[in-house]
Amino acid sequence: MTEEQILAEFRAADALLEGHFILSSGLRSPRYLQCARVLMDAGRARRLAEALAAKLPAELRDSIDVVVSPAMGGVIIGHEMGRALGKPAMFVERPDGIFHLRRGFSIEPGQRVLMVEDVVTTGLSSREAIKAVREAGGEVIAEAALVDRSGGTADLGIPFVPLIRIDVPTYDAKNLPEELAAIPAVKPGSRAAA
């Protein structure tokens, strides 16, 4: 799948939004990729997951035991990646602000885990989810994501394979451009802003 085909999937789902958005990292942005909208169509979710799975090196694909994703944003793409790879998929969630495996999910000691996210901006959610998997005994061998909007700055400490890299500016709330500050802020993500 080419970059233009990937962006066409987002456009077809009205998932490329413009305005003033508060990201889960607490940073502000004039554009937001609403992955929930692009993934709500099962066929589109399948196509994107298959394209992402195909980007993983064969050696990596062959070594994955289980796919784990952070709730909420990573749940659908994580499930679809499990399907594309023929591996079980589970998720971590944070009922108390810290990621945990729940709902009967467990990882066997030493199981090789592919972490899957929808969007990576700062990598904070990814690092927190990776920590939870490691504490549960898993070995996180790589991360895959639909979108890397970090500008190459997200350091996850493991190999990172995004389907697409999108350079969208982000700003600290105290240092907004005038045109962005003039627009009311909206928080579309799944985590309380930092």
Binding residues are 94, 117-125, 149
Binding residues for orotate are 121, 149
| Apex 73 CA angle, 72 and 76, nearest 5 | 90
> Are 35 and 41 spatial neighbours (Cβ–Cβ below 8 Å)?
no
Contacts of 112 (CB under 8 A, 6+ apart): 63, 64, 65, 66, 138, 139, 141
Strand arrangement, sheet containing 66-70: 100-101, 89-93, 66-70, 112-120, 139-148, 160-165
3-class DSSP assignment, residue 18: strand
Strands 100-101 and 89-93: antiparallel
Dist. CA 75–CA 188, nearest whole Å:
16
User: Can you spell out the DSSP letters for 77-96?
Assistant: HHHHHHHHHT--EEEEE-TT
Binding residues for 5-phospho-alpha-D-ribose 1-diphosphate are 94, 117-125
| Tokens encoding 72 | 């909420």
